Structures are given as C-alpha cells and as structure tokens.
Amino acid sequence: MKLEKLAPAFQDYLWGGTKLRDVYGKRCDFDKVAESWELSTHPAGESALAGGERDGLPLGQYFQQFPQALGKNAAAFENFPVLIKLIDAKEPLSIQVHPSDEYALRVEGEYGKTEMWVIVDCDPGAFLYFGVNRPVSKEEFRQRIENNTVLEVLNKVEVHPGDVFFIQSGTIHAIGAGILICEIQQNSNCTYRVYDYDRRGADGKPRPLHIDKALDVCTLEPSDTASHLGPVLSCAGGTAQKLGECAYFSTQKLRVEEALTLEAGEESFLSLVCVEGGGLLCGPENTLEFTAGESLLVPAGTGKVSLRGDCTVIQTTVPGQA
C-alpha cells in the first residue's frame, strides 16, 4: 500500500496561540490554533488523507476501506486506540484530570485517557503542573478549588525541549503557558476541568468545572515524575530512543542524520510526526516529501521504508497485548 500524508483537524481553544500556523505552516483560518489533531478518528476532530488519489478521505473511512492498514494490534481494539496532537499553549490550560477506562465507560460512555507529552519547544522558564506536591485530602482539595489556592498544592515542573512526561489517568495536570507539545494519547476527549483561573468562554460566562467527577477519579498523592526514557540507540543513519509505552501506544523519537530504515509489519501501522527538519519518506510504492509539522502514515504490512534527510520524527505504533 502507498504511504500517506495526513491533514489534521484543528481546535481553537481560548488558550491557544499561532505557532502551529506561523512555525509549522498549518493552513487554518482560526485566530488561535490551539491544537492540530494529526492522527485522529475521533468525531470531535478527525484527520484526513492529504494529496494523492485519496485526498480528503477521512482517516476512519480509510481504515474501514483498508482494514489491513491498521495492523493486527489496533484491530484488536473495539475503537481506534490512539490520538496524536500538536498543542500550542500560549496561555496556561485549565487544571484538569482524565478518568480511567472503567470510570469513563460507566459514567460517560467513552474510554478514559492516558497521555504522554513530548516538549517540542518552550519559552525560557515555562512550566507545567504534574500531580500534587504532597498528599492532599479530597476535602482540602475541594476547599482550595473554592478559595482559589489549589495551585499551592500542585507539583510545578519547569520544562525544556526534549522533556517527556507520561500522564496516567487520574493525575491532576496542566500544560503551562509558552509550551509547544506533541501529545500522544488514548483516543478519548474525556476531561474533567478542576480550576480555570476564572476565565470566560466565548459566551462571556465562566467555563464549566467538573469538580465532583474530578474528585471521584483524581489521585491526590504525589505522582511518579521521574523520566523513564530508554537509552539513545545508534543505528545506521541516525538514532532511536523509546519515549514511553502503554496498552494503547508505543512511541520513539527518531533522529535522522542521513537515512534511517524502518519497518511496518503486519502488527501495526507507523505514525510519523516530524517536529524538526524535513526530508523524504521512501516506500515500495511511492515517496513523500515532508517538513516540520507534517504527519505521515505507513500502513501496516508495508515492509521496509526509508526516512531520509536531516530531521527529528516522533514515531508511534500500537503495541501487542500481553
């Protein structure tokens, strides 16, 4: 099967900036381009094939027409398991938490959300919130939300380009201002907003909070914020480093210096998001040129492909189930 380039869906959340358009050349008419959903079959924002004979075909329809392109691992899930975004946070996101699968399926009728952040770029001194900085009771946490002191008990972490954070469901978190992120996550849009700086939505009203549900699912003990990155492995034409893995996705950072050989077996497709540089992706049937900010799809069963150029690429696959 042919290699495919993807066109994202966009979101114009109020905290977004313009870097996805200004730096990555995303074609979007929104004043604020908060997120581009690069690999998505989610109804809130589905990506599509770009260029070639299937130009404009929604990704979900593509996989319906060519189920072999998914691979055996993704096909084992009831729904497409992964969603990949680029996020430009000009302003801080709300303090929030995502539920587990068990809670989300029971209460919301959709899956929960575990996610991973790769810091692509950030302003000096930029930070995020990741869990709490000490054990907190639910009663104290509720009181602090009500009296606007909740930030005092959150774990504040300064970030740098290349940092990676794995956010388990139940972890209180928020992306801070001035951060550009590649987010690899479970295919869900289920979020409980805890605190939002008293911001107003487009309708002029405070954005809704979901405090009771958040308290049902949040972990109010300090989280494991240590890096669990794999070693940087040298290979012909570049390096590869495992960034993280869960039941829904397995992600590596590829640094291409000349040409790097990848392989898409029958188990999983390859999602490739270029975050720096550019080059060529060469497969058995076609070759695609790409630059920073673009996403490519290598269908399962394609076999060996070659990444050529000078670039940094985030590769995601769907792992097999134990």
Instruction: For 140-194, write each residue's pLDDT tens digit.
Output: 999 999 999 999 999 999 999 999 999 999 999 999 999 999 999 999 999 999 9
Where does the pLDDT of residue 138 fall: very low under 50, low under 70, confident under 90, or very high at 90 and above?
very high
| Secondary structure of 34-46 as H, E, C letters | CEEEEECCCCCCC
Catalytic site residue from 27, 54, 142, 193: 193
* Fold for the domain defined by 4-217: Jelly Rolls (2.60.120)
Q: Name the pTM for this structure.
A: 0.95
Instruction: Give the Cβ contact number of residue 180 at 10 Å.
Output: 24
For the domain made up of 232-317, give the CATH fold. Answer: Jelly Rolls (2.60.120)
pLDDT in tens, 274-308: 999 999 999 999 999 999 999 999 999 999 999 99
Angstrom distance (rounded) from CA 120 to CA 274: 10
pLDDT of residue 322: 64
Residue of 96, 230, 249 whose CA lies nearest to 182: 249
d(CA 34, CA 21): 10
Residue boundaries of the structural domains of the chain: 4-217, 232-317
Q: Does the fold of domain 232-317 match that of domain 4-217?
A: yes
State residue 38's pLDDT score: 98
- Specify whether 193 is catalytic: yes
* Rounded CA separation 40/17 (Å): 21
Distance between CA atoms of residues 320 and 185, nearest Å = 17
- Identity of the residue numbered 83: L
CB 19 within 8 A of CB 122: no
**Tokens 């004979």 found at:** 53
Buried (b) or exposed (e) across 150-171, using 16+ Cβ within 10 A?
beebbbeeebeeebbbbbbbbb
